[in-house]
Structure 1
Amino acid sequence: MMIRRELPHDIDAVRAVTAAAFRTAEHSAPPVEPGGDPGEATLVSWLREDTGWIPELSLVAVEDDRVVGHVVATRAEIDAHPALGLGPLSVVPHRQTAGVGSALMHAVLGAADALDESVVGLVGEPAYYRRFGFGPAASIGVIAPEPGWGDYFQVRTLTSYAGQSGHFRYARPFDRLSG
């Protein structure tokens, strides 16, 4: 398996991987259009068109010349301070639990650190994301966009973290998904 930056010819494959990964996920966003792909697949398209898109942080996992996974981190904010919002993280169902998602997470976090980013936020299963250094956002004074997320809203600090705290805000396309 190889992890690399997303290329223009990967866009359709990334959408297919994201749709497949979230089609049967327990906590998936509803389709934007009735009968359409899960909301996460549309979200990636919206993010790609947003000013918060960071091409260096949209990564694919490739096996036998096929995209089998994708992760993206986009510009977010903690009050007025730059941060990253991670997600979605997608792996085709037949390759889940095979280390593809872990490889993508390590790669995107390493790339974010190399770009001198300071903190990454996400919504996800604490037991899964703890292994990547994530913990409850509230523990460092970062307030989730939705209070009901509780410990499912997590952050990971990176090398240049300087104590940023306050309200977390994802890139604007996330608002379109939930609203």
Structure 2
Amino acid sequence: MPLDLSELRELLTALNQTDIAELILKSEDFELTVRRGSRIEPADGSQLSSRERMSLSPIVTPLPAADLSRGTADTPNGAPSQSVPPPTSDRRLVEILSPMVGTFYRSPAPDESPFVDVGDRIRSGQTVCIIEAMKLLNEIDAEVSGEIVEILVQNSEPVEYGQPLMRVNPS
């Protein structure tokens, strides 16, 4: 019995309202596997504890400074965000990328100050933001020390896997 798109949406919506971690549907025509959260496998084949599986690191990709030609970004209300210093040809920036799909938050709570702002110095391992995925809050830690040059996502905005979140001038 094949599932149509609306039935699949209903199934995923129903699963989202439960605490089921994994569902596998099999028939002669198809196989569907739905898992909550991220599955992280170590390169050496060893097993991770459940706490280690929940700890996620962002993906970091070097980016040439020349790719920052736009200089400023507009916020949803039309006001320009904090401007970025003009890039220099000898400077290499590093992007902090989202390790998952979810909702980006700059601070630990709505009434608290952001983890980082443009111009802040950060160190490797420092929490720079939170991404909420499936009602779980995942702290995203920097993998590089340096200065925050640009924050590319607005607070409470949805993000995709691999989407650039921030740009850092490594030190």
Normalising by the smaller structure, the TM-score range is under 0.3
TM-score, structure 1 normalization: 0.26
TM-score, structure 2 normalization: 0.26
Which of the two has higher C-alpha Rg? 2
Indicate the structure with greater helix content: 1
